[in-house]
Homo-oligomer: A and B are copies of this chain.
Amino acid sequence: MSKGITSKNDDYSAWYNELVTKADLAEHSAVKGCMVIKPYGYSIWEKMQAALDKMFKDTGHSNAYFPLFIPKSFFSKEAAHVEGFATECAVVTHYRLKNDGNGNIIVDEDAKLEEELIVRPTSETIIWNTYRGWIQSYRDLPILVNQWANVVRWEMRTRLFLRTTEFLWQEGHTAHSTAAEAIEETERMLNVYADFAENWMAMPVVKGIKTANERFAGAVETYCIEALMQDGKALQAGTSHFLGQNFAKAFDVKFTSKEGKLDHVWATSWGVSTRLMGALIMAHSDDSGLVLPPKLAPIQVVIVPIYKSDEDLAKITEFADNLHAELKAKGISVKYDDRDTQRPGFKFAEYELKGVPVRIAIGGRDMENGTVEIARRDTKEKQTIAQDGLANRIEALLEDIQTNIYQKALKFRSENITEVNSYEEFKQVLDGKAGFVSAHWDGTPETEKKIKEETKATIRCIPLDNKQEEGVCIYSGQASTQRVLFARAY
């Protein structure tokens, strides 16, 4: 393991970049803007996928797979959609390379596509073009489909996990016979995301609605979950869109209702991406490395033997093997690290960097005393405890860590939602501790835009359970009926 990383208080951005790289989560690739997700990083993503996939299936969804490529003409069919994505998409124009005779491999101009293909930035268009063939009657509805896929949005400035040209995600695309049912689905999936963020990622989120400016290109309403990072910036962690009949109209998808009436189908789409990896890292980690909630940690417990003789090691190994078996039976993932090429101190630092929630160290003296040293990653507390009943204690400890990480993040967020009543105050908070700033806004896109230009803060959302209160817009002085949440954001 290499030396420590920059302190997050000194340079949050450097801290993040170094952590992602040094903890073996991801790295930049030779392809501009595209990342390599390394095995350790990917194993966390796999745990996220498994949990989310189960939640999707438990709410009645099935997975399917649609083409990577979208014909350019499909893009143009939904006006707002193409407006939103045209300026950042990878375009396939040819289907063959050739040798130019001098040993150079060049594009074969004889293999030019009649119609360019876009590498999907999101799949509404290709999916709704497909759904046209699947839907005739109300009996074919609802369609509740999800896709796990890679997507490409050409980004000029990228950051590992947070903003990359290619990223992995899931995109749900559902079709319904009524607006009410589609809205219910939109909200259901928002709740699934919030549940996942809070109960798996241990990351509190605000559920809300985006303003028109921040809406998904083609949506009638965009719901979102917004999280707060430790540097006081917000991060959009997931979105769920009520698409109305926009895509059904663009792709002519109609159904016959029970009453025999022909109508366009109602749609939703919703997605979360590998961006969640960035959120997970930034929400909890510290200067020693990752802090992972136990539910998403690929290794939940590491056992490190500390020994002076082979005899010591043999005894410790026997004990560790039994503990390993006991923990495995409880569904807890354990690593026993008896490498003789590294010292315990090196191993301790490595597992701190990797965010392993519980570390158990066992020495010769421990074996005599019937004890172990147990260290939790979140608080860095160490304790010597009895070997008797250890597996149960560890199980309880993992639950405690999961809760504690969440509570810590919740406390941080509570302390960093600030109500302000003037534009001066607003700017002071933003330039100070930042966080979410709750302020009155006149409801116009113009004001929102100006505030963004002047302060780089955007309206993260109008919280779902928002209190209605009379006030005046901090910028325009116009009347307002509710506060909205502003923040600078990733």
Contacts and interface: CB of A to CB of B under 8 A. Distances in A.
A54 interface: no
A257 to B, nearest CB: 16
Interface stretch (A63-71, A301-309, A450-458): A63-71
A468 interface: no
A69 B31 contact: yes
Contact of A64 (B38, B68, B72, B107): B38
Interface string A110-151: 000000111100000010011001000001000001000110
A39 interface: yes
A198 B67 CA distance: 30
Assembly stoichiometry (copies): 2
Nearest to A82: B105
A397 interface: no
A90 B95 contact: yes
Interface residues of A, number: 63
Interface string A60-86: 001111111111101110000010001
B154 A68 contact: no
Contacts of A69: 31, 34, 90, 166
Given A29-B130, A30-B71, A37 B62 contact: no
A68 B75 CA distance: 21
A250 to B, nearest CB: 14
A168 interface: yes
A427 interface: no
A82 B152 CA distance: 24
A87 interface: yes
A72 B42 contact: no
Contacts of A152: 68
A65 B92 contact: no
A96 B107 contact: no
Contacts of A62: 39, 42-43
Contacts of A66: 29, 36
B91 A92 contact: yes
Interface in A155-211: 166, 168
Contact of A94 (B93, B97, B104, B126): B93
A335 to B, nearest CB: 13
**Most chain-B Cβ atoms within 10 A of its Cβ — which of A65, A66, A86, A139?**
A65
A367 to B, nearest CB: 30
A154 B67 contact: no
Nearest to A73: B105
Nearest to A45: B65
A154 to B, nearest CB: 4
A94 to B, nearest CB: 4
A286 interface: no
Contacts of A65: 36-37, 42, 45, 168
B88 A95 contact: yes
A90 to B, nearest CB: 5
Given A89-B95, A93-B93, A126-B29, A39 B68 contact: no
Given A30-B71, A107-B93, A63 B42 contact: yes
A218 to B, nearest CB: 15
Contact of A75 (B46, B105, B130): B105
6 contacts: A29-B66, A43-B63, A68-B166, A69-B90, A82-B105, A93-B107
Given A36-B64, A68-B119, A69-B166, 17 more contacts: A27-B133, A29-B66, A29-B67, A30-B74, A30-B126, A30-B130, A38-B64, A39-B63, A68-B152, A75-B97, A82-B97, A82-B105, A89-B96, A90-B94, A90-B117, A93-B107, A149-B150
The 3 A-B pairs at the shortest CB distance, nearest first, are namely A39-B62, A34-B67, A37-B65
